[in-house]
Amino acid sequence: MSGAFSFRLQALLDYKSALESGCRRDVAEAAKACQGAECRIAALHEELRAFEDVPDLRLRYLRAEYVEQKLDSEEAIFRDRQAAFQKATARLRGASQEKRALERLKQRHYALHAAAVARAEEAELEESNAQSAAAR
Model pTM greater than 0.85? no
Give residue 106's Cα distance to chain centre. Answer: 20
- What is the C-alpha separation between 87 and 69, in angstroms, rounded? 27
Convert the pLDDT of each residue in 34-86 to its tens digit: 999 999 999 999 988 887 777 888 888 888 899 999 999 999 999 999 999 99
Task: Name every residue whose Cβ is closer than 8 Å to that of residue 76 and which is 6 or more positions away in sequence.
Answer: none
CATH architecture of the domain covering 12-102: Orthogonal Bundle (1.10)
Q: What would the DSSP string read from start to end of 46-75?
A: HHHHHGGG-S-HHHHHHHHHHHHHHHHHHH
